[in-house]
Amino acid sequence: MRSKFTVRLLALMLTMVSLGTGVAWAADHLDSPGAQNDPTADINDVYVFRSQAADAVNTSRTVFVMTVVPAASPDARFSPNVEYVFWIKEEGADNRLDITCTASEGPDQEITCSGPNGATDSIAFDVVDAGDGLADDMRVFAGLRDDPFFFDLDAFFAVVGDPEQVGQLLDEEGTDFFADLNTLSIVVDVKNEIFGNATNLEVYAFTNRVGHDR
């Protein structure tokens, strides 16, 4: 099912990121019952940003992040029947540069992601690759992590009930509703070179149950 999200840099349900500069994100929480009943295909957030090496100098890579399964429990796993897709194309072009990730069955999952120009990587669930990895076309992490989304739900409902309470949303000491919640994260760190000569990418994310039309 496709995610619905508020876009920071470009309207029309697309996030645009420059491979030279910029960061983008999109969020989608508290879905309709259909999405809530299918948590392994329910996208929470999408983030795209430049990767930086430990020396904070190398910015020749880009990171794509998708989170699914709201309020994930320790035993939550990705579905082997779902494709997790970053829909990617160069701005103004027709060619697709997608990154697609799939998971194996069972608790000891292996997650495999494939992108353009033969870029691919596989990794076991919740295992962090300790290698340097800057020479690799693609590096993947997939596992349970703290939900990075910040939202003061109580303040939001207070303002919905009384717009004059809008000052609560400006409170620097707001309460993060998601502070104690986890989510499943797919993180794909790639060399910009896999996108050829593209400099500006249009990006969104969706999940697709195998055998269903996209």
pLDDT tens digits, one per residue of 7-52: 233 323 344 555 555 555 455 555 556 666 788 988 988 999 887 6
> How many angstroms separate the Cα of 80 from the Cα of each of 77, 106, 179?
9, 9, 28
Task: State the Rg of the chain over Cα.
Answer: 18
Q: Is residue 203 part of a domain?
A: yes
Q: Which residue has the higher pLDDT, 185 or 21?
A: 185
* Domain assignment of residue 9, yes or no: no
- Say what the pLDDT of residue 5 is: 30
**Residue 29 located in a structural domain:** yes
Count of domains forming the chain: 1
8 Å CB contact between 113 and 138: yes
Range from 15-19, 84-88, 156-160 carrying the lowest mean pLDDT: 15-19
**Residue 109 belongs to domain spanning:** 15-209
**Is the pLDDT score of 97 beyond 80?**
yes
133 has pLDDT over 50: yes
Q: Looking at the domain assignment, is residue 80 inside a domain? A: yes
Looking at the chain, the whole-number percentage of residues with pLDDT higher than 90 is 39
* Mean pLDDT, residues 94-101: 94
| Dihedral sign, Cα of residue 166, residue 172, residue 175, residue 176 | positive
Is residue 119 classed exposed, middle or buried when 0-12, 13-18 and 19+ CB atoms within 10 A define those classes?
A: buried
Distance CA 141, CA 78 (A): 13
Is 8 domain-assigned? no
> Within 13 Å and on the Cβ side, how many CA atoms surround 48?
26
Q: Please give the model's pTM, rounded to 2 decimal places.
A: 0.77
**What average pLDDT does this structure show over 94-110?**
94
191 located within any domain: yes
Whole-number pLDDT of residue 180: 79
pLDDT of residue 88: 94
Q: What is the pLDDT of residue 68?
A: 93
DSSP for 73-122, please give it. Answer: -TT----TTEEEEEEEEETT---B--EEEEE-SSSS-EEEEE-GGG-EEE
Task: Judge whether 146 lies within some domain.
Answer: yes
188 within domain boundaries: yes
Whether residue 130 has pLDDT greater than 70:
no
